[in-house]
Amino acid sequence: MLTMLLYVLIVGAVATILFLLASAVFGRSEEMGTVPKGTTATVLPVEGVTGADVRALRFQQVARGYKASEVDWALTRLAARIDELQYQLAMAQATQWQTPPAPEST
């Protein structure tokens, strides 16, 4: 019985050491401050989202990856901005084609 208890304790100690070692090696070692519930550290400008803004996006990591609500929020904002730009482009192209040609001089 003592042998079994000793075996369990040694296996537990080895597992703990391996876990801590793997966390140190494979962990990102980034510590973000805690964010109040219902808020986000993810930031995008209200207007004029650029490629640099998208590349600078950072999402808070949680136990199973990124916080899904923050990723969904950013993707919704980006999708809306893309739709807006596509609409503006379509309107600009439509007005370009509707401009009457200049009268010809004779």
What are the beta bridge partners of residue 65?
Answer: 62
Q: Which bin fits 48, alpha (ψ -120 to 50), beta or left (φ > 0)?
A: left
Question: pLDDT tens digits for 49-79?
Answer: 777 777 777 777 777 777 778 888 888 888 8
pLDDT of 3: 92
Q: What is the mean pLDDT of each run of 10 residues along the chain (106 residues)?
A: 92 94 71 61 72 73 76 83 86 80 57
pLDDT at 33 (0 to 100):
63
- Residue 15 is predicted with a pLDDT of 96
